Amino acid sequence: MAISKERLYTIIFEADTAEGKCFDVALIIVILLSIIFVILESIDPVRAGFQIGLKIAEWVVTTLFTVEYLLRIWVLRRPWKYVKSFFGIIDLLAILPSYLGLIFINGQSLLVIRALRLLRVFRIMKLTRYSTASLTLMRAIKASFEKILVFLFCVLTIVIIFGTMMYLIEGEKNGFTNIPTSIYWAILTMTTVGYGDISPGTPLGQFLASVIMILGYGIIAVPTGIVTAQMIQKSVPGNTQVYPNCMFDKHDDDAHYCKKCGVKLD
Amino acid sequence: MAISKERLYTIIFEADTAEGKCFDVALIIVILLSIIFVILESIDPVRAGFQIGLKIAEWVVTTLFTVEYLLRIWVLRRPWKYVKSFFGIIDLLAILPSYLGLIFINGQSLLVIRALRLLRVFRIMKLTRYSTASLTLMRAIKASFEKILVFLFCVLTIVIIFGTMMYLIEGEKNGFTNIPTSIYWAILTMTTVGYGDISPGTPLGQFLASVIMILGYGIIAVPTGIVTAQMIQKSVPGNTQVYPNCMFDKHDDDAHYCKKCGVKLD
Amino acid sequence: MAISKERLYTIIFEADTAEGKCFDVALIIVILLSIIFVILESIDPVRAGFQIGLKIAEWVVTTLFTVEYLLRIWVLRRPWKYVKSFFGIIDLLAILPSYLGLIFINGQSLLVIRALRLLRVFRIMKLTRYSTASLTLMRAIKASFEKILVFLFCVLTIVIIFGTMMYLIEGEKNGFTNIPTSIYWAILTMTTVGYGDISPGTPLGQFLASVIMILGYGIIAVPTGIVTAQMIQKSVPGNTQVYPNCMFDKHDDDAHYCKKCGVKLD
Amino acid sequence: MAISKERLYTIIFEADTAEGKCFDVALIIVILLSIIFVILESIDPVRAGFQIGLKIAEWVVTTLFTVEYLLRIWVLRRPWKYVKSFFGIIDLLAILPSYLGLIFINGQSLLVIRALRLLRVFRIMKLTRYSTASLTLMRAIKASFEKILVFLFCVLTIVIIFGTMMYLIEGEKNGFTNIPTSIYWAILTMTTVGYGDISPGTPLGQFLASVIMILGYGIIAVPTGIVTAQMIQKSVPGNTQVYPNCMFDKHDDDAHYCKKCGVKLD
C-alpha cells in the first residue's frame, strides 16, 4: 500500500498514465453522482422518501472529496498556490457546504449552502479543459471576443431603445409597467425566447414588436458569422501545427511549396 | 414468375438496377402510408369513423412487410446476421406490433405496442443512408462530435448553475419548485424555446433570465461555427477538382507534394 | 402619344432603359399600395370608416392592372405563352378577384376571393428575380437542396418519434390528445418557437422536452452549415468571374500566377 | 488651469493621447450612469423613494453634458457643421430633455421627453465606432446588405401569404381577427419567438403553423450564410499578413501582381 508521493502526484494531477486516467474517470463519476444527489434532494417527495439514503450518499461523497483534497495538498510542494487558485477554491467549495450544513441547521441560508455543492460541476470543467476540442473552442471564442462585445453592445442599445419605445406606446395597462420591464420584454423578444407573459396589445406596439423580432431573427447571423469565420481562420494555421515544419530543408530553388509536407515556402 | 434468388437479392438489397429502385420507391410509399395510418388512428373521431378501413389498411401493410421480411431472410446466405443487425430489428419491429395487437386486446400496453409501429420511420432512414448528401452530413457531424460534446457539456453546466440560482432567487411561489424544474426552465430559456409556463417574477430573477437569454442567443453561434467549419474543410478537397494538377510531372522520388502547386501526390 | 409596340415592349418587359426602370418602380409602388389596401380592409373599424375610399382605391388599382395586363398581351408576339406562364397567371390573379367580387356579393367565398388579391406580392418577386443578390441566394439554396431535404427528413423522423413518446408519456390530460397534436408540439418545441399552449406536466415528459429542445437548439447548426458552406464555395468560382481572363498571354516560364490579374496559372 | 484650445480639441475629439482616452472613458461612465438613472426613474417605488437623489443626479449629469457640449462648440473651427451632424444632434438631445422638463411640468409629453434622454446610448456608439471590431462588422453587414434585403423581402412575402391563409382558415374565433394580426402571428411564429397569445386551434391551422415554423427554423440559415460568407471573404486579405511578401522583388514594370505568389502589388 506504500505509494510514493511522486507516484501519487502523477495519479492525481496528471492524466498521462493509466492510473491517472482511471483516477480522473472515477472522479468525474463521483462528481456527477454527487450533483445528481443534490438535484434530487431539492424535490420534496424524494427528500421525504430517501432522507437517510441521501444523507449517507452525501457523506460518502464528502469524505471522498475531503480525502482527495487533503491528498492534493499533501502531495504538492507549494500547496498554498493550489489552495488559492480558482480550481483550488472550487475543490474546497465542493466539500465545505456539507460541513457548514452541520452548523446552520435550517432556513434559507442552509438552502444556499446546500446549493453551493452544485459548484462541483466546475470540477468536471477542470478535467476537460485540456482536451483539444475545448482548447479550439476557447481560442475561437477568445479571438472573436472584441467583436462579440461590440455585437452585445449593439444588442443592448437596440433593446434599450425599443424597450423605452414600447414603454411609451403600450404603457402599464399591457404589462409594460416600467423601462426595466420593457427592456426585459425586448430581450425576451429579440432573443426569440418569447414567454408571452408580456405581449403588446396595441397595433403600433405589435408593429414595433414585429420589427424587433425580425431584427433579432436576422442579427443572430452576426455572432454566428464572427465565430464561424474565426473557427475557419483558426483551423488554417492549426493545420500547420498538424503538419508543422517537416525538418526538410533541401528545397529546390524553384520550389514554392515544400515537397515533403506541402507547406508554402516563404 | 420464376425469379431467381440472385435477382431477388439485387432487387431487395441493392438500388443500382431499375427494379431495385422501383422496389425502394414502392417500399418508401408503403412505409409513409403506414405511418400516416398510425398517426390518423390516434385521433379519436378518425378511429371511430374509419375503424374498419384502418384495420384493413393495417393488415395489408403488415402482410406486405411480413412477406418482404421473410423474402429478405430467404434470399440472404447468412440471414441471422441481418436479423440481429439494427435494421433487421427495425424491420421486425415494423411487423410485430400488429401481431402483438391480437394478443393484448386493449389498455395502455396496446397503445404502446401500436405506437411502436412508428419505428417504421427508421426503415426510410435505411434507404436514404447511402445518399451522398446524408453521407456528407453524417461525416461533418461525426468529425465535429467531440467539439459538440464539449459544447453540450458547457450548456449543461450553465443550465445547472443558472437553474439553481433561479431556484434560490425565485423559489416555489413563482413556479421554481425544485432544482430539476429550475433546470428545465433554464433549458427552455437558453434554447430560446420559452413556453412561458414558468417565468421569473422578481426583478433579480428577470435580470438573470435576461443574462441566460442573451447567453443562449449568442452561444448558438458555437455549434453553428463548429459544423460550418467542418463542412467547409470537408469540402476543400473538392477545390482540387477545380484547380487540379499543375501539369508539373517531374516530381522527385522523395516528393509527397507537388513542389509547384502544393497538391498532395498519391 | 403614339408609342410603337416595340418601345412599349422594352418599357414593360425590360429594365435596361430609363423608362423601363421607371415603369418597374411605378409598378412596385402600385402593387405595394394595393397590398396595404387589402390588409387594411380586413380590419373591421378601418373597413367601416373608409368603405368608399377603399372601394375607389381598389378600382383604381384594378383598372391600372387590367390596362397593364392587356398591354402585355397586345405587345407580345406569342401572348398565349405568357398567359399560361406562372407570372402570367399571377398577373391575372392580381385583377380577377376584384371582378369576381362583383358576382359573389358576400360570405366566406368573397373573403377568400378578396384575399387572393394578396398574391400580387408575387408580382414584386417577378421584378426582383433578376437581381444578382437573389440569383446568388437561389443558386446557393438550390445547390444545397438535397442536403436540406435529408436534414428535413431527419427533423421529421425526430419529431414523429418524440411526438409519439410524449403522447404515450403525457397523455390526454396534459394536452397531448393524439399523435398529430403531439407531433405539432414536438415541431413547436424543436424549432424553438414554444407557444406554451401545450407543455409537458410530468417529470419524464419535461426531461424528454429538454432533450428535444437541446437537439433543436443544436441541429439548427446543420442547415446553417450547409447553406454557408455552399455560399462560400459558390463565391470562390465567382471570384474568377470578377478577375476573369485578363487576355494577357505572355506569361514568363517561371510564373505561377498571371502578373497582370493575379489568377493562378495552370 | 489655462488649457489651450488646441489641447482641448485633442482631448475632446481625439483618443490618441492619454488625456483623450481618459476623457472618453470618463464620458462613457457618465453616459452609462445617466442611462441607469433614467431607467431606474421609471420604476414607481424607486422614483418615490429616491426623488431628490435622482433629481440631483440628473442635474449633475445635465450640467456635465452641457459644459461638454459648449466646449465642443467653442473648440471647433466650424461648430455649425458639428451641430448639424448626426452625433451633434444626439449630443444636444442628451441635454435638451432635462431643460424641456422644466417647461412641461407633467403628463404624457413629459414622459416622452424624459425617455428621450435614453438616446444618450448613441453617444457611446459614437465612441466605439472607430474600433476595428465595429468597422469589420459594419463592413461585413454593409457588403451583404443587398442580399439581406432580398432575404427580408422573401420573409415578408411568406409572412403575408401565410398570415392571410391563417386568417381565412382560423378566423376570428381563434384570435386571427384581421390580416395585420395574422401577419403579426406569422412573424411571431416564423422568427421562432412564439408568445402563444395567438395560436392556431384547427388541425389545418396547426399544420400550416408547423410548415411556417420549419420554414422559419430552416431559412435562418440564409442570413447566417450570407454574413458568414461575407466575413470570411473580408478576412481573406488578412491571410496576406500571415504569408506576406514572397521576398521576390524583381517585379516587371508591367506587373500588377507578384508572379511568384500572386499578391497584388501596390
The model's pLDDT over C16-32, given as tens digits with 9 standing for 90+, comes to: 788 888 888 888 899 89
Q: Is the dihedral of CA A51, A55, A58, A61 positive or negative?
A: negative
pLDDT band at A209 (very low <50, low <70, confident <90, very high): very high
Name the residue of chain B whose CA is nearest to A236's CA.
B233
Q: Which chains does chain C touch, 3 or more C-beta pairs < 8 A?
A: A, B, D
User: Comparing B17 with A70, which gets the higher pLDDT?
Assistant: A70
* Predicted local distance difference test score (pLDDT) of residue B130: 61
Instruction: Pick the closest to residue C169 from C150, C185, C155 (CA basis).
Output: C185
B246–C229 C-beta distance less than 8 A: no
Name the residue of chain B whose CA is nearest to A183's CA.
B210
User: Comparing B52 with D262, which gets the higher pLDDT?
Assistant: B52
Give yes or no for a contact between C263 and C241, defined as CB atoms under 8 angstroms apart.
Answer: no
Instruction: Pick the closest to residue B32 from B42, B20, B40 (CA basis).
Output: B40
Name the residue of chain D whose CA is nearest to B221's CA.
D224
Mind telling me how many Å the CA of B129 is from chain A's nearest CA?
Answer: 28
What homologous superfamily is domain B5-130 in, according to CATH? Voltage-gated potassium channels. Chain C (1.20.120.350)
Can you say how many angstroms the Cα of residue D193 is from the centroid of all Cα atoms in its chain?
21
A45: pLDDT strictly greater than 70? yes
The string of DSSP codes covering A209-265 is HHHHHHHHHHHTHHHHHHHHHHHHHHHHHHHHHHS---S-----TT-SB-TTT-PBP
Kindly report which listed range (C104-118, C228-242, D245-259) carries the lowest average pLDDT score.
D245-259
Amino acid, res. C107 = G
Kindly report which listed range (A48-57, A148-157, B240-249, C190-199) carries the lowest average pLDDT score.
B240-249
* Predicted local distance difference test score (pLDDT) of residue B162: 94
> Across the strands, what pairs with B264?
B257
Longest dimension (CA), chain B: 80
**Domain ranges in chain A with CATH number 1.10.287.70:** 145-233
* Mean pLDDT of the B152-160 span: 89
Mind telling me how many Å the CA of C224 is from chain A's nearest CA?
Answer: 9
Instruction: Pick the closest to residue A264 from C15, D103, D263 (CA basis).
Output: D263
A128 touches chain C (CB under 8 A): no
* Predicted local distance difference test score (pLDDT) of residue D190: 93
* Predicted local distance difference test score (pLDDT) of residue A263: 55
Give yes or no for a contact between C262 and D256, defined as CB atoms under 8 angstroms apart.
Answer: yes
User: Tell me: the pLDDT tens digits for C65-106?
Assistant: 999 999 988 888 888 888 898 888 888 888 888 888 888 766
pLDDT band at D76 (very low <50, low <70, confident <90, very high): confident
D18: pLDDT strictly greater than 80? yes
CA distance A118 to A124: 11
A211: pLDDT strictly greater than 60? yes
D232 touches chain A (CB under 8 A): yes
* Predicted local distance difference test score (pLDDT) of residue D262: 56
| C-interface mutation test, from D181, D222, D263, most C Cβ less than 10 A away | D222
pLDDT band at D28 (very low <50, low <70, confident <90, very high): confident
Mind telling me how many Å the CA of C262 is from chain D's nearest CA?
Answer: 5
| C-interface mutation test, from B191, B226, B242, most C Cβ less than 10 A away | B191
Give yes or no for a contact between B97 and B117, defined as CB atoms under 8 angstroms apart.
Answer: yes
Size of chain D, expressed as the number of residues it contains: 266
Task: Tell me what ipTM this predicted complex has.
Answer: 0.80
* Predicted local distance difference test score (pLDDT) of residue C173: 86
User: Tell me: the pLDDT tens digits for C115-160?
Assistant: 888 888 888 777 766 677 777 778 877 888 888 888 888 898 899 9
Contacts of C228 in chain A (CB under 8 A): 228
> Across the strands, what pairs with C257?
C264
* Predicted local distance difference test score (pLDDT) of residue D258: 56
* Predicted local distance difference test score (pLDDT) of residue B231: 82
* Mean pLDDT of the A206-229 span: 89
B233–A228 C-beta distance less than 8 A: no
B134 touches chain C (CB under 8 A): yes
Highest mean pLDDT of the ranges A99-103, A155-159, A230-234, D2-6: A155-159
* Predicted local distance difference test score (pLDDT) of residue D242: 30
* Predicted local distance difference test score (pLDDT) of residue B248: 47
Mind telling me how many Å the CA of B224 is from chain A's nearest CA?
Answer: 7
D180–A206 C-beta distance less than 8 A: yes
A147–D137 C-beta distance less than 8 A: yes
Task: Specify burial of residue A29 (Cβ count, 10 A radius: 0-12, 13-18, 19+).
Answer: exposed
D210 touches chain B (CB under 8 A): no
Q: Which long-range contacts (CB under 8 A, 24 or more apart) does D202-210 make?
A: D202/D169, D202/D170, D202/D174, D203/C180, D204/D169, D205/D166, D205/D169, D205/D170, D205/D174, D206/C180, D206/C181, D206/C184, D207/C184, D208/D162, D208/D165, D208/D166, D208/D169, D209/C184, D209/C188, D209/D166, D210/C183, D210/C184, D210/C187, D210/C188
B206–A191 C-beta distance less than 8 A: no
User: Comparing B248 with D241, which gets the higher pLDDT?
Assistant: B248
Contacts of B195 in chain D (CB under 8 A): 196
For D231, which of A167, A214, A226 is closest by C-beta distance? A226
| Nine-digit cell string for C86 | 406562372
Name the residue of chain A whose CA is nearest to B256's CA.
A260
- pTM here is 0.83
* Predicted local distance difference test score (pLDDT) of residue A236: 45
* Mean pLDDT of the B225-237 span: 72
Name the residue of chain A whose CA is nearest to C220's CA.
A224
A183: pLDDT strictly greater than 80? yes
User: Comparing D66 with B111, which gets the higher pLDDT?
Assistant: D66
Mind telling me how many Å the CA of A83 is from chain C's nearest CA?
Answer: 36
Please determine, looking at this structure, whether the domain spanning A145-233 carries the CATH number 1.20.1340.10. Answer: no
D260–C260 C-beta distance less than 8 A: no
Average pLDDT, chain B: 81
C124–D147 C-beta distance less than 8 A: no
| B-interface mutation test, from A34, A42, A189, A265, most B Cβ less than 10 A away | A42
User: Tell me: the pLDDT tens digits for B119-148?
Assistant: 888 887 777 666 777 777 788 778 888 888
A214–D152 C-beta distance less than 8 A: yes
Other CB atoms closer than 10 Å to residue D95's CB: what's the count? 21
CA distances from D38 to A174, D97, D113, D184 (A): 21, 11, 11, 31
Contacts of D224 in chain B (CB under 8 A): 224
B42: pLDDT strictly greater than 90? no
Q: What are φ and ψ of residue D257, in 5° steps?
A: -130, 145
* Mean pLDDT of the A17-44 span: 87
For D147, which of C136, C155, C183 is closest by C-beta distance? C136
A87: pLDDT strictly greater than 60? yes
D1: pLDDT strictly greater than 80? no
B40: pLDDT strictly greater than 50? yes
Amino acid, res. A165 = M
Give the H/E segment covering residue A97. Answer: helix A96-103
* Predicted local distance difference test score (pLDDT) of residue B187: 94
User: Tell me: the pLDDT tens digits for D111-165?
Assistant: 788 888 888 888 877 776 667 777 777 887 788 888 888 888 889 889 999 999 9
Mind telling me how many Å the CA of D177 is from chain A's nearest CA?
Answer: 12
Residue C218 CB partners (closer than 8 Å, separation 6+): B148, B151, B152, B223
CA distance B51 to B48: 6
Mind telling me how many Å the CA of D195 is from chain B's nearest CA?
Answer: 8
A155–B214 C-beta distance less than 8 A: yes
A150–D131 C-beta distance less than 8 A: yes
* Predicted local distance difference test score (pLDDT) of residue A255: 58
Highest mean pLDDT of the ranges A215-224, D150-159, D181-190: D181-190
D198 touches chain A (CB under 8 A): no
* Mean pLDDT of the A251-266 span: 56
C217 touches chain A (CB under 8 A): no
D257: pLDDT strictly greater than 70? no
B255–A259 C-beta distance less than 8 A: yes
* Mean pLDDT of the A66-94 span: 88
Mind telling me how many Å the CA of C81 is from chain D's nearest CA?
Answer: 26
Kindly report which listed range (A219-223, B214-218, D16-20) carries the lowest average pLDDT score.
D16-20
D250: pLDDT strictly greater than 70? no
| Nine-digit cell string for D21 | 482616452
C233 touches chain B (CB under 8 A): yes
**Domain ranges in chain A with CATH number 1.20.120.350:** 5-130
